[in-house]
Amino acid sequence: MFSIWLICCLPLGTILLAICKSAGGSQLSPEKSLIWGPGLRAEVVLPARYFYVQAVDTEGNRFTVSPGEHAFQVRITAPEEQFTRVGMQILDRKDGSFIVRYRMYATYQSLKIEVQTKNKHIAKSPYILKGPVYHENCDCPQEDVNAWLEEMSCPQSIPQIHRDLAHFPAVDPEKIAKEIPQRFGQRQSLCHYTIKDNKVYIKTHGEHVGFRIFMDAILLSLTRKVKMPDLEFFVNLGDWPLEKKKSPQDIHPIFSWCGSNDSKDIVMPTYDLTDSVLETMGRVSLDMMSVQANTGPPWEEKNATAIWRGRDSRKERLELVKMSRKYPDIIDAAFTNFFFFKHDESLYGPIVKHISFFDFFKYKYQINIDGTVAAYRLPYLLVGNSVVLKQDSIYYEHFYNELQPWKHYIPFKNDLSDLLEKLQWAKDHDEEAKNIAKAGQEFARNNLMGDHMFCYYVKLFQEYSKLQLNDPKVRDGMEKVEQPDEDLFPCNCHRKKVKEEL
Ligand SMILES: *[C@@H]1O[C@H](CO)[C@@H](O)[C@H](O)[C@H]1NC(C)=O
Ligand SMILES: *[C@@H]1O[C@H](CO)[C@@H](O)[C@H](O)[C@H]1NC(C)=O
């Protein structure tokens, strides 16, 4: 019934849509609708700040479908200023809730956020953020790391960090500074970082160190926000984890973007996820917020063929594409690129054009299969509203060990031998599959947003710093990594002692 109303109303615009809805008994209530989230707190500095708006009807029931893309109007202004340099977007999650996100290009004394529907304020709007409200580029660290963790509502403890650091009862900066370059320095792409007095220093080892830009960027962003403990550590810029020694003696702490069952590297959020957080509403278009506004049709209307696109970076991917050619009604898997293996078109079909990531969500079943290491698309797949079928794998990102098979995703064997069976299960148990999709999405919404990334890094470095036996040093050959200084709008950090103005 409802969908018929929706279709009849759509071409006529959202005002009529609202009328249809109220006829159906759910009228948007400005007072009962809800607003919450970190973007309403001045002290939560993020590249893109965000908060949520949940539509609630006059009866107090939450909307579970969109009340219309333009149901809410948001205005963000700096009351003291003539212009407010803020970019803002309202993202319709199509489930009755919205993400409002904004990127500030200058720091303001205060910020006023108004959320309205048809000229009526929603919930407790207007919200006044008493500042200073710093923008991402403002170099103004909170001096007390514990106070920062509290302001950010970071979790007390993060299990993966404890698991990773448990291999290292102590870290001797003198020792690792010598031994890690000797062990790995020639063959691998490594960065040796020291953070001292909240300044970042680096020495690179190996030839291919282009990916250091991601690590530099997050470290600079962190030190702008919070005074980091003094640290000395090594980051592996390559795909594969490095520390594979079996004996617990003499293993070295190496920070990597990917962990594995057979190594002892310390995992961090991937460069991909990190970059997408830093560049949200900037250089990148795929991030954990944009996906939420592009999750395709509702579950019932999604195509029940399983979908996969990617490159040929692992032999099981070849298997998957072969399978797809054998069972095209069940799996639509194709390569967008051939690089690692010899391309035999008779076996693997033609190379197909990329499809937009958002188009994946036209399909119910998302296949997640390793590339060279873990497939870094998993966070984005989870936060859509399709169900993820995940290959069992030795590789993991920083959050995989908190995911539960059958709760957040449907597992299948590493060699794909039960994939068809699992897809059949999903078709036979549509309601369960839908619930798994929902739980996966909920997990991603609650654990993989930008603020969670910052919490992870700071907790990780804080815990690691406690293991250091002596003072980190700025070593011979290190260079300082400078904060970007091209910022158009200065930030007037109130935390720094103002130099005497003569
Ligand atoms: C579902 O997707 C498959 C594979 O992409 C396609 O062949 C099929 O036509 C689609 N089905 C519908 C009903 O659109
Ligand atoms: C890797 O370890 C996890 C957690 O202990 C386990 O569930 C998984 O089956 C392991 N995968 C492989 C391929 O060994």
- Considering the domain architecture, whether residues 201 and 219 belong to the same structural domain is answered as yes
- Considering the domain architecture, whether residues 314 and 361 belong to the same structural domain is answered as yes
State pTM to two decimals.
0.93
- Considering the domain architecture, whether residues 317 and 432 belong to the same structural domain is answered as yes
Name the closest ligand to CA 363.
1
pLDDT at 151: 97
Burial of 409 (0-12, 13-18, 19+ CB in 10 A): buried
> Three-class SS of residue 405?
strand
- Considering the domain architecture, whether residues 325 and 435 belong to the same structural domain is answered as yes
Tell me the pairing of strands 108-117 and 120-121.
Answer: antiparallel
- Considering the domain architecture, whether residues 367 and 477 belong to the same structural domain is answered as no
In a domain, 2, yes or no: no
Q: How far apart are CA 21 and CA 290, in angstroms?
A: 26
- Considering the domain architecture, whether residues 318 and 426 belong to the same structural domain is answered as yes
288 CA to centre of own chain: 5
Interacting residues of 483 by C-beta distance below 8 A, sequence separation 6+: 139, 220, 223, 224
- Considering the domain architecture, whether residues 298 and 435 belong to the same structural domain is answered as yes
In a domain, 343, yes or no: yes
- Considering the domain architecture, whether residues 227 and 307 belong to the same structural domain is answered as no
* CATH at 107: 2.60.40.10
Distance 362 CA to ligand 1 centre (A): 10
433 CA to centre of own chain: 24
Distances (CA, A) of 488 to 82, 105, 279, 284, 484: 16, 8, 18, 21, 11
Q: Whose CA is nearest to atom 9 of ligand 2?
A: 392
Distances (CA, A) of 484 to 170, 217, 292, 324, 487: 34, 10, 31, 48, 7
> Three-class SS of residue 468?
strand
In a domain, 495, yes or no: no
In a domain, 369, yes or no: yes
Name the closest ligand to CA 370.
2
Q: How far apart are CA 40 and CA 100, in angstroms?
A: 10
In a domain, 282, yes or no: no
In a domain, 8, yes or no: no
Distance 332 CA to ligand 1 centre (A): 9
pLDDT at 497: 58
Distance 414 CA to ligand 2 centre (A): 10
> Ligand 2, closest atom to CA 401?
4
Name the closest ligand to CA 374.
2
Ligand 2: residues within 6 Å at CB? 261, 392-394, 414
- Considering the domain architecture, whether residues 371 and 472 belong to the same structural domain is answered as no
> Three-class SS of residue 275?
helix
Q: Which domain holds residue 360?
A: 291-448
Distance 303 CA to ligand 1 centre (A): 6
- The string of DSSP letters for 407-466 reads TTBEEE-TT-TTHHHHHHHHHHTHHHHHHHHHHHHHHHHHHSSHHHHHHHHHHHHHHHHH
* CATH at 409: 3.40.50.2000
Q: Whose CA is nearest to atom 5 of ligand 2?
A: 261
What is the identity of the amino acid at 218? I
Interacting residues of 147 by C-beta distance below 8 A, sequence separation 6+: none
pLDDT at 25: 53
pLDDT tens sequence for the chain (502 residues): 333 333 333 444 444 444 444 444 589 999 999 999 999 999 999 999 999 999 999 999 999 999 999 999 999 999 999 999 999 999 999 999 999 999 999 999 999 999 999 999 999 999 999 989 999 999 999 999 999 999 999 999 999 999 999 999 999 999 999 999 999 988 889 999 999 999 999 999 998 999 999 999 999 999 999 999 999 999 999 999 999 988 777 899 999 999 999 999 999 999 999 999 999 999 999 999 999 999 999 999 999 999 999 999 999 999 999 999 999 999 999 999 988 888 888 889 899 999 999 999 999 999 999 999 999 999 999 999 999 999 999 999 999 999 999 999 999 999 999 999 999 999 999 999 999 999 999 999 999 999 999 999 999 999 999 999 999 999 999 999 999 876 678 788 888 755 444 3
- Considering the domain architecture, whether residues 306 and 431 belong to the same structural domain is answered as yes
Ligand 1: residues within 6 Å at CB? 303, 305, 332
Distance 301 CA to ligand 2 centre (A): 34
Order the strands of the 97-104 sheet from edge to edge.
34-36, 49-54, 97-104, 86-92
Q: Which of 448, 466, 497 is the last residue of a domain?
A: 448
Name the closest ligand to CA 302.
1
Domains of the chain: total: 3
In a domain, 498, yes or no: no
- Considering the domain architecture, whether residues 296 and 444 belong to the same structural domain is answered as yes
- Considering the domain architecture, whether residues 379 and 424 belong to the same structural domain is answered as yes
In a domain, 244, yes or no: yes
Distance 370 CA to ligand 2 centre (A): 14
